[in-house]
C-alpha cells in the first residue's frame, strides 16, 4: 500500500486575539480555525509488490477527497481504467501483462501517491495460431465464419471469449461457438452485408485461460467482405444459378450425385465454398485399386463445398448435365462455366442445394449455417452452455 499524507498549512496568530472571521471580522473568542485533513490515497497492488497475478486489477481509492488524476503505465503504454461516479475509486479495465513492471501515480488535491509493482511470469502461455479465412489480400463471402485456433487448451473459455472482438463497418449480430478447447468459431445470425471491412481483435495478453495459463500476445486481423455471391442448386431440375450482388450472373446445367447409395448422394443444405484447386486429385474413399467403384482421377477447376468430398467442378459430360444425375456426389458442370465459378469464388460464398434426402451436417466442412442461430449460441461460453 502506498500511503501519502500531505502536510497541511496552518494560519499563524499573534497575541491572544481570536482569528478573523469571514470578511476580516474577528472570530469568536476562544475558537481556533479548523485544519482540513489531507486526502488519503490507497493503491493496490502496493509499492514494491512482486509476482502480481496478471488477472488482478489495479485499484486506486481515496478517502477525504476525490481523485484528480490516475496514471498507470507499463512499457510506455497507459493502462485504461474506469473512475467511479463519485470520483473516489479507479479500477483498471484491461488485463495486466505478464512479466511486466507497472508504475502508478494518483493525485487528490495536494496529495500524491505512487506505487511500482511487477507482474509474475506465467507457468504457461497461450496465443492465437491461426485465423481463417484470412489470407493476405483475400476477399471473403457473405457466409464466411471467423475460425480461431489457439496453441494451448483453454479452460476459462468465458474470459478468453470476452477478449475476442469483431467490429464490422456494417454490423450484424453474431456469436462464438467453441468446437473444442483450442478451436472457436464466430458466425453471424444473418449473412454479412457485402463490400465492407471487418476487424477482429484477440485482446488476450494477460487474460487467464486456465490454471497458470495466460495469454502472451494480442492478435489483430482485418477481413474484407467482397461481393455477395450466392449459388442455388436444384438437383431435381439439374440446374445451378449463380447470383452476384443480387443479379443472376450464370445459369448452369449440372449433374449431381446419382443417389444409388448414401455415399453417392449430394447433400442438401447451405454449403460454403472452402477452397479451390486446378486440378484436384480425387480418389474413391475406402476403396483400393481393383475394387468395384474405385477411381483415381484429376479434376479441373474444382471448388470444395464440404469435407465429405463434394465439389463444384468441371466435367466434359455435357450429355448428362441438365438431364441426369450421374456423379459420385459432386456437382459437375460445363468446363467453361466451372472455370468461371472457380476463378471467381471467394471462401465463404453460399452454395444452397435442394432436392436430395441427405442433409448436410453442420460440422461437415463449413456447414455452420445448417444450425439455427439459437442453437449456435448455446456453444458460447458467454451466451450458452460451453
* 313, 328, 342, 383: the active-site residue: 313
Answer yes or no: are the C-beta atoms of 276 and 304 closer than 8 Å.
yes
Could you tell me which of 162, 163, 222, 229 has the C-alpha nearest to residue 192? 229
- With a CB cutoff of 8 Å and minimum separation 6, the contacts of 183 are 147, 148, 149, 150
**Residue in 271, 301, 330, 342 annotated catalytic:** 330
Q: CB of 145 within 8 A of CB of 348?
A: yes
* Cell (9 digits) for 304: 470444395
CA angle 306, 329, 368 (to 5 degrees): 25
Residue 13 annotated among the catalytic residues of the structure: no
Long-range contacts of 97-103 (CB under 8 A, 24+ apart): 97/54, 97/205, 97/206, 98/54, 98/122, 98/125, 98/205, 98/206, 98/214, 98/216, 100/74, 100/75, 101/74, 101/75, 102/45, 102/58, 102/72, 102/73, 102/74, 103/72, 103/73, 103/74
Rg of the chain over all Cα atoms, to the nearest angstrom: 32
Q: Would you call 330 a catalytic residue per the annotation?
A: yes
3-state secondary structure at position 70: strand
Give catalytic residues, as residue numbers.
313, 330
Amino acid at each position: 500500500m502506498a500511503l501519502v499524507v500531505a502536510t497541511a498549512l496552518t494560519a499563524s496568530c499573534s497575541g491572544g486575539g481570536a482569528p478573523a472571521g469571514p470578511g476580516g471580522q474577528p472570530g469568536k473568542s476562544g475558537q481556533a480555525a479548523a485544519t482540513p485533513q489531507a486526502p488519503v490515497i490507497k493503491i493496490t497492488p502496493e509499492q514494491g509488490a512482486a509476482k502480481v497475478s496478471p488477472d488482478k486489477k489495479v485499484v486506486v481509492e481515496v478517502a477525504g477527497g476525490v481523485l484528480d488524476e490516475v496514471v498507470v503505465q507499463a512499457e510506455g503504454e497507459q493502462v485504461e481504467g474506469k473512475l467511479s461516479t463519485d470520483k473516489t475509486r479507479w479500477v483498471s479495465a484491461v488485463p495486466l501483462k505478464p512479466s511486466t513492471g507497472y508504475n502508478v501515480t494518483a493525485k487528490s488535491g495536494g496529495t500524491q501517491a505512487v506505487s511500482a509493482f511487477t507482474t509474475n511470469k506465467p507457468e504457461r502461455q497461450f496465443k492465437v495460431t491461426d485465423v481463417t479465412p484470412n489470407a493476405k489480400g483475400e476477399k471473403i463471402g457473405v457466409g464466411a465464419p471467423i475460425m480461431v485456433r489457439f496453441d494451448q487448451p483453454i479452460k476459462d473459455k468465458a474470459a478468453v471469449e470476452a477478449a475476442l472482438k469483431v467490429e464490422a463497418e456494417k454490423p450484424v449480430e453474431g456469436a462464438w461457438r467453441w468446437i473444442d478447447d483450442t478451436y472457436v468459431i464466430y458466425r453471424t445470425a444473418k449473412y454479412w452485408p457485402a463490400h465492407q471491412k471487418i476487424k477482429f481483435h484477440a485482446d488476450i495478453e494477460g487474460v487467464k485461460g486456465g490454471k497458470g495459463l495466460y495469454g502472451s500476445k494480442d492478435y489483430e486481423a482485418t477481413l474484407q467482405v467482397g461481393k455477395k455471391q450466392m449459388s442455388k442448386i436444384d438437383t431435381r431440375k439439374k440446374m445451378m444459378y449463380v447470383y452476384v450482388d443480387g443479379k443472376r450472373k450464370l445459369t448452369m446445367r449440372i449433374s449431381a450425385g446419382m443417389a444409388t447409395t448414401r455415399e453417392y448422394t449430394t447433400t442438401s443444405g447451405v454449403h460454403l465454398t472452402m477452397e479451390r484447386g486446378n486440378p484436384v486429385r480425387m480418389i474413391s474413399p475406402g476403396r483400393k485399386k481393383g475394387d468395384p467403384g474405385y477411381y483415381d482421377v484429376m479434376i479441373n477447376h474444382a471448388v470444395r463445398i464440404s469435407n465429405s468430398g463434394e465439389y463444384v467442378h468441371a466435367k466434359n459430360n455435357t450429355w448428362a448435365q441438365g438431364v441426369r444425375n450421374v456423379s459420385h456426389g459432386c456437382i459437375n458442370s460445363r468446363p467453361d462455366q466451372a472455370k468461371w465459378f472457380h476463378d471467381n469464388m471467394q471462401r465463404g460464398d453460399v452454395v444452397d442445394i435442394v432436392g436430395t434426402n441427405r442433409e448436410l451436417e453442420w460440422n461437415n466442412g463449413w456447414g455452420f449455417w445448417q444450425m439455427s442461430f439459437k442453437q449456435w449460441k448455446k456453444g458460447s461460453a458467454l451466451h450458452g452452455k460451453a
